[in-house]
Structure 1
Amino acid sequence: MATVKTIALGLTLIDEKKEELRIAFEDLQAHSSSPSSFTLTWSDIDSHFSSIQSSLTRQFDLIQCQNDVVPEILQKYVPPSHPRLKLLCSNMDANGLTRYIIDHSKDRQEIASELPDAFRVAPVPAKLVLDALQEFFPPNEVDNEGNKLGSLMQTRLLLLEQLTAVLPEIKADVMQRAKYLAQEWKGKINRGAVTSNGFLGFLYLLAAYGMGSDFDSSEYVEFLANVVVQNRQQGFTLCCRLNCVDKVPGFVVSLVRCGHVLQRRLSTSAK
């Protein structure tokens, strides 16, 4: 800040110094024995210094602007609470990512908010999440919330939900794997081997990988309506991603839309 003040003071003295230079130039010219040797007039010199003064003033204004903006940006910037998420994603470490989220389950909300940015640094985010979904349901086991399997389900549900927010490009080989997993998952549902979270995870799998049209929506629209009632934002996102807004009971859709209109109005009035 001291440097900026010094520059500002120097700029205010330019006109004074230029006037002193003019007086010295005219005095030298008046006492010269050969006036014709002066190839430059004071007008030429004044124009040159005015150009330099204008350039310095513009650069100083830019410095002041940066000094005003940068602290504001730094003040608003909040460093991620879990920077390791980006490292794990950039390394495509699906197992490490799953373990990290389980180990920090108390920070679920923070992790959820930071996962989309972490996914964006992954070379192939759709493959990363699919790798984390390997053996989503261990053989001969039923998901039981409250035990380790329940924690695993919550973690993988979180991964799918945040991948849906990113909607990355999905290559053919990854899509083929996703479809195979979806079929296997659907079989578990038909056999009653999943809880409501398992069903929700299935819907997020379809939404994240764009497979909504590959399955009969009439089989899950009732469940989806319940999701809308329990969590309007979550349900509305799934309805849109699965292209089945018009198939969910009308009163539920109205509830969702009214909620969003109200939210926008409140946000606008707050501004």
Structure 2
Amino acid sequence: MDGDGLRRFIVEHRKEFASLRHELPGALKCAVDPARMVVVALEAYLPDPSSSTRKASDASASRRACILLLECLQVVLADPVLGVDHPVVPSHVKEVAKDMAEKWRSRMDVQKDAAGGSSLDAQAFLQLLATFGISSEYDEEELCGLISAIARRKKTPALCRAIGLSARIPAIVDKLVEDGKPIEALSMAKEFGIMDRIQPVSLLKNYLKDARRIAHSMLKSGHSPAAAQNDSMMKELSATRSVLKCIEEYNLEADFPSSPLHKRIFQLEKAKLDKKRTGGSMKGQSKRPRGSNNGGYSYRNPDRNPERGGYVPPGPSVSGYQFVSPVAFERQNQGGYMPSYAPGSRSAVSLSSLPPNSYIYSPADGSIYGAPGYSTTPTNTYPSFGNLRNSLPPPPPAYQASFMH
């Protein structure tokens, strides 16, 4: 009988609504008083204004959980002979449901909700009346106005029967046509067998023409040309798909050929894809390139922190390196350059004794060590390496053959 806990469980598993809808009726039958338990859960549909505000996603999930509980409870309370349109509700629970419906009606402003295009509260209110069998407490004209807000939903025809509006369906269909909702009008007319009351082909053609006119006006009134073009394409694409679905569902192919619609959908989808590709390439080109000199040498600050992704080269700092315009590197211009390794030694020559700024590459003489004030004599005129060899560490000891096996 923990209705509030059951509602929270549904919210936590809101991604499994399909399976919950199948399992909840059987679970509710196991409760001692399922109607009373659901009424307790419904107290959270309209939270206390003085309580702490919840996230919009959590509030919406909680309301949808309440609607799901009402729909499943309607199956549990159905009369065994007359069906769900005649629920069997305990009198004490029905009185509580009446008070709750009046509170919802006063606080939700369902008429404003219907006019604003948001149908969640209107659906919850009508489902509450249908589940507990209290629709006779309200005026039919008011209820018919709320039906228009939820006419697109699949369960709306069944909800109309449950609240006793079957006789008012022709008037509801006419109101939907008048309000510019031909898709909803066709659905209701098909469900109640009054397709001869309307002209489906004419309705669909006018609907498609109006959608294209609105899409064209979006191109002119949009503040952003790119956004206006995207909204225009989506508007026409959605309307064309809806009309195509109606042609297939109501077998209108003979009077309204669908091949032009298929072609138009293909054109719109191709235009949307091309626009997306173009926008993606433009976005990629708008990125600033990394700083580089004329030769394409990328420069990165050597003092950047390596923990932040900067590259710090090993060894001595390179902050004093000076780069000049590179030229074609030809090995034959180096003269007799040889590796700076002492014979018989595995250690490189120490560079600490070289003059300052001796690492500047000078293209004038082709020497890799050339710099102002430093002799660039070819390698074959260098002095003997004998003195230099004496300043180096001794070579590693030679190991006996026996140690190698």
Residue 166 (structure 2) aligns with: 245
Residue 200 (structure 1) aligns with: 123
Match of 2:5 among 70, 81, 96: 96
Distance in 1 (CA, whole Å) between partners of 2:13 and 2:109 is 32
Distance in 2 (CA, whole Å) between partners of 1:166 and 1:191 is 27
Q: Would you say the 8 A contact 2:89–2:132 is kept in 1?
A: yes
Shift of residue 218, structure 1, vs aligned partner: 1.0
Residue 134 (structure 1) aligns with: 43
Distance in 2 (CA, whole Å) between partners of 1:193 and 1:226 is 10
Distance in 2 (CA, whole Å) between partners of 1:160 and 1:123 is 17
Distance in 1 (CA, whole Å) between partners of 2:13 and 2:153 is 24
User: Whose helix fraction is larger, Structure 1's or Structure 2's?
Assistant: 1
Shift of residue 102, structure 1, vs aligned partner: 0.7
1:175 maps onto 2:97 in alignment: no
Cα distance per residue 1:72-92 (max 9 Å; x no partner): xxxxxxxxxxxxxxxxxxxx1
Alignment CA distance shift 1:146-1:179 (3 Å): same
Distance in 1 (CA, whole Å) between partners of 2:150 and 2:16 is 23
Alignment CA distance shift 1:188-1:127 (3 Å): same
Distance in 2 (CA, whole Å) between partners of 1:155 and 1:144 is 15
Q: Would you say the 8 A contact 1:133–1:156 is kept in 2?
A: yes
1:151 maps onto 2:61 in alignment: yes
Amino acid of the structure 1 residue aligned with 2:190: L
Distance in 2 (CA, whole Å) between partners of 1:145 and 1:258 is 43
1:122 maps onto 2:36 in alignment: no
Alignment CA distance shift 1:138-1:226 (3 Å): closer
Distance in 2 (CA, whole Å) between partners of 1:219 and 1:184 is 16
Match of 1:190 among 100, 109, 134: 109
Aligned pairs for 1:1-271 within 5 A: 92-140=1-49, 146-167=56-77, 169-190=88-109, 195-228=118-151, 230-232=152-154, 234-248=155-169, 249-250=172-173, 252=185, 253-258=188-193
Distance in 2 (CA, whole Å) between partners of 1:106 and 1:119 is 20
Q: Would you say the 8 A contact 1:145–1:151 is kept in 2?
A: no
Alignment CA distance shift 1:240-1:191 (3 Å): closer
What stretches of structure 1 of length at least 5 have no aligned partner? 1-91, 264-271
Q: Would you say the 8 A contact 2:110–2:122 is kept in 1?
A: no
Name the SS of the counterpart of 1:220 in structure 2: helix
What stretches of structure 2 of length at least 5 have no aligned partner? 79-87, 175-184, 195-248, 250-405
Q: Would you say the 8 A contact 2:11–2:61 is kept in 1?
A: yes
* Higher Rg: 2
Range 116-125 or range 207-216, more displaced:
116-125
Shift of residue 250, structure 1, vs aligned partner: 4.1
Distance in 1 (CA, whole Å) between partners of 2:162 and 2:33 is 20
Range 188-197 or range 105-114, more displaced:
188-197
Distance in 1 (CA, whole Å) between partners of 2:59 and 2:65 is 10
Amino acid of the structure 1 residue aligned with 2:135: G
Amino acid of the structure 1 residue aligned with 2:22: S
Q: Would you say the 8 A contact 2:122–2:149 is kept in 1?
A: no
Shift of residue 236, structure 1, vs aligned partner: 1.4
Shift of residue 222, structure 1, vs aligned partner: 2.7
Q: RMSD of aligned C-alpha atoms? A: 3.0
Distance in 1 (CA, whole Å) between partners of 2:104 and 2:112 is 9
Q: Would you say the 8 A contact 2:36–2:93 is kept in 1?
A: yes
Distance in 1 (CA, whole Å) between partners of 2:91 and 2:75 is 20
State TM-score, norm by structure 1.
0.55
> How many residue pairs end up in the alignment?
168
Q: Would you say the 8 A contact 2:122–2:150 is kept in 1?
A: no
Shift of residue 180, structure 1, vs aligned partner: 0.3
Shift of residue 217, structure 1, vs aligned partner: 2.1
Cα distance per residue 1:122-150 (max 9 Å; x no partner): 22111111010114211338x99942111
Q: Would you say the 8 A contact 1:164–1:208 is kept in 2?
A: yes
Amino acid of the structure 1 residue aligned with 2:162: R
